[in-house]
Amino acid sequence: MKTKTEIIDSWSLTEFESALYELYPSILRTLIKDHTTGKSIVWATSSHLEFGVPFGADKQLDPSTVTFGKRNFLKPRVQKSQAAQTARTKDKAEVFTPSWVCNMQNNLVDDAWLENQNSFNVGDFGSWQTSTDPIHFPAGKTWKDYVADIRLEITCGEAPYLVSRYDTVSGEKIELKDRIGLLDRKFRVINENAKSDQTWNASVIKAYESTYGYEYQGDNLFLARENLLFTYIEYFFDRFGRFPSQKQLSRIAEIISWNVWQMDGLTNCLPFSKPVKLFEQLALSFEEDEDGVTFIEDSDLFDSGDSPYCLIADWTNKTNGKPEIIEFRSLLNR
């Protein structure tokens, strides 16, 4: 009887993607986790309500609903029907940016950081041409600084600015060498500079720890987290010719679950909750009961005493290997 490793090594990436959660269900649970509540992310969309009550907008994702029917139940926007795309645009103003636009905007970020134009590619309207020369770093900056530099995609959808596994318009797969995401660029820099396997692995962890994104709709968020995890698998396979271990996958998945989180970007809170101002807390948001003072919150997603503001991990400040947990809104004043 073959071991898990032997089975995995015999699979293609597509087969591995479809069977990952059968082998490692704990990773699926990590990818649907919400760290602010300690529960799971919610659908926050009525797009799947036709399948029953568990798919309601205020319901939490769980392994049975995420893998409902068949493995490709949750499809990228490009694979949805035109009617479904239009409905989501009307409901939540969901419009995905073409990959070539993502590339041109990401190039602007790198042009400023690297103090040089077109380091990764030459972008044009509708396409780009990948540069083959190694990335050059200006005085006072190193490749490790680039890998550790923090990047954030707001309202990230399926995270096309972070990773570019497929073209957001055509749905066609993009080869590793031509990918344009912010995390993809960190992988390229790591591949060009990390000589040892140990340095490569440590640098990749740093790259994930410094890459963030948030999204409102739970299905998009799950796909974004999936895209970041499978990006890791693809680059790992390209480097080593084999799939990462469960321990390696679990570590990356845990970072992703913290760094790509569910949030309403207008309130810095989870869906179906609202910010609480100081005067509201004093006048409206507390009541006295037999147990003492209890926090009032409109959403049933929060237990008594919880804050509605979203929590994220600050991996630059660690204690015993654990990141500092902070409210995202605290970064807005920095």
Token pair in block for residue 108: 């602007």
Pairing mode of beta strands 311-319, 322-327: antiparallel
Q: How does pLDDT run across 194-231, given as a tens digit for each residue? A: 999 999 999 999 999 999 999 999 999 999 999 999 99
Looking from the CA of 249 toward its CB, the CA atoms found within 13 Å total 25
Among residues 188, 231, 224, 187, the alpha carbon closest in space to that of 206 is found at: 187
Please tell me the predicted confidence (pLDDT) of residue 298: 38
Identify which has the larger pLDDT, 213 or 22.
Answer: 213
| Out of 22-31, 73-82, 250-259, least confident range | 73-82
- What is residue 22's predicted lDDT score, i.e. its pLDDT? 81
* Mean pLDDT in residue range 112-136: 97
Phi-psi region of 292 (alpha: psi -120 to 50; beta: other; left: phi over 0): left
H or E element at residue 6: helix 4-9
> Is the separation of the CB atoms in 253 and 31 below 8 Å?
yes
CA–CA separation, 8 and 12 (whole Å):
8
- Model pLDDT for residues 148-184, shown as the tens digit of each residue: 999 999 999 999 999 999 998 888 899 999 999 999 9
Quote the crossing angle between the two packed helices 246-259 and 218-240, to the nearest 10°: 140
Instruction: Judge contact between 61 and 41, C-beta under 8 A.
Output: yes
| Selected residue with higher pLDDT from 239 and 300 | 239
Contact 20, 66 (CB under 8 A): no
pLDDT, mean of residues 272-276: 82
pLDDT at 10: 63
Say yes or no to pLDDT of 320 above 80.
yes
Which residues contact residue 22 at a Cβ distance below 8 angstroms, ignoring those fewer than 6 apart? none
Pair type for strands 292-295 and 286-289: antiparallel
Q: Identify which of 307, 302, 310 has the alpha carbon closest to the alpha carbon of residue 331.
A: 310
Query: 170 or 289: which carries more pLDDT confidence?
Result: 170
Q: Compute the average pLDDT of residues 234-258.
A: 95
Residue 262 is inside which H or E element, if any?
Answer: strand 260-262
**Domain limits of the chain?**
1-262, 278-333
> Which of 16-20, 57-61, 143-147, 179-183 is predicted with the least confidence, judged by mean pLDDT?
16-20
Number of helices and strands (H, E) in the chain?
12, 11
